[in-house]
Amino acid sequence: MKKFILDLTVKSVEQLHERYVLIKLTDKHPLPEMLPGQFVEVQIEGSSTTFLRRPISINFVDREQNELWLLVATIGDGTRRLAQLKAGETLNCILPLGNGFSPIFKGEKVLLIGGGVGVAPLLYMGAKMKESGVEPTFLLGARSAKDLLMLDIFRRYGRVYVTTEDGSEGEKGFVTNHSLLQQECFDRISTCGPTPMMKAVARFARENGIDCEVSLENLMACGLGACLCCVEKTTEGNLCVCKDGPVFNIKKLLWQD
Ligand code: FES
């Protein structure tokens, strides 16, 4: 897919949680085509410690409003600077990068499992699925009710099930403990979140013969396959998560635990 370097205009920055902001960006031209699971490399201006771009997954693309949404966890200097952006400022972005989730076929029953900020790409994935006539089921996990993000928006596109570690909303425990997994059969699982969660989901999928794709969050720098800092060992040798992923079928990964 053709990549673009664009100065996008900040439309709004919404504080969703003490550690997460939702940044909505727009452009005077229609935004380029983007696939669920792809990501954007954003330039951080005004941070004395951040020289490299930051990879942020595509949370949603609103074609009617010509908006690109980025859900950002504010965990370092660079991302905290992003959270301070004001409407009208510009953000230089390279997009769309990486390979997204595989296309879904009509009649497939698909479960989208997310944890923490890893829920971000699943919103766009679910919206695109619904657009193509396949209703997704979301299973979203967090530590506590206050850490569950954008639930109302997820509910616009499919059924939403929730787990929290402290039991403050939904079922208590981890996503892989949810009763839904015992009650319903799925053809495919797509997942994104903390690595231990994705490994547990991959194990469940493997044991139950379910096709499964994971979106890896290895550290990235260039985002373009040049620096090799994001390499993942696979059945095809070392692959760059930024260029060959971030989405991989679990059959390709050397995850045995
Ligand atoms: Fe540089 Fe992947 S981030 S090669």
The model's pTM is: 0.94
- In the reported structure, the alpha carbon of residue 221 is separated from the centroid of ligand 1 by a whole-number distance in angstroms of 5
CATH number of the domain enclosing 10: 2.40.30.10
| Interval 148-184: pLDDT, tens | 999 999 999 999 999 999 999 999 999 999 999 999 9
Residue 248 CA to ligand 1 center (angstroms) comes to 16
Q: What is the pLDDT of residue 47?
A: 62
The last residue of one of the domains, among 63, 97, 131, is: 97
76 or 186: which leads in pLDDT: 186
Substitution candidate for ligand 1 out of 41, 99, 218, 230 with most atoms within 8 A of CB: 230
Whether residue 132 sits in one domain with residue 112 = yes
Task: Assign 22 to helix, strand or coil.
Answer: strand
Ligand 1, atom nearest to 241 Cα: 2
- DSSP letters, 199-240, are HHHHHHHHHTT-EEEEE-----SSSSSSS-TTEEEETTEEEE
Averaged pLDDT for residues 72-97: 93
Residues at CB less than 6 angstroms from ligand 1: 220-223, 225-230, 240, 242
CATH number, position 250: 2.10.240.10
CATH of the domain at 155: 3.40.50.80
Say how many Å lie between the CA of residue 255 and the centre of ligand 1: 21
126 and 144 inside one domain: yes
Q: Residue 168's domain spans which residues?
A: 101-214
Torsion angle, CA of 203/140/189/257, rounded to 10 degrees?
-10
**Token representation of residue 4:** 């673009």
90 in the same domain as 120: no
Is the domain of 112 the same as that of 137?
A: yes
Please state the atom number of ligand 1 nearest to the C-alpha of residue 242. 2
Q: In which residue are the tokens 């469940």 written?
A: 204
Same domain flag for 111 and 194:
yes
**Whether the predicted pLDDT of 48 surpasses 90:** no
pLDDT of residue 217: 86
Cβ neighbours of residue 90 closer than 8 Å, sequence gap 6 or more? 7, 8, 9, 10
State the total domains in the chain: 3
Give me 195's structure tokens: 């690595």
Q: Give yes or no: residues 128 and 87 share one domain.
A: no
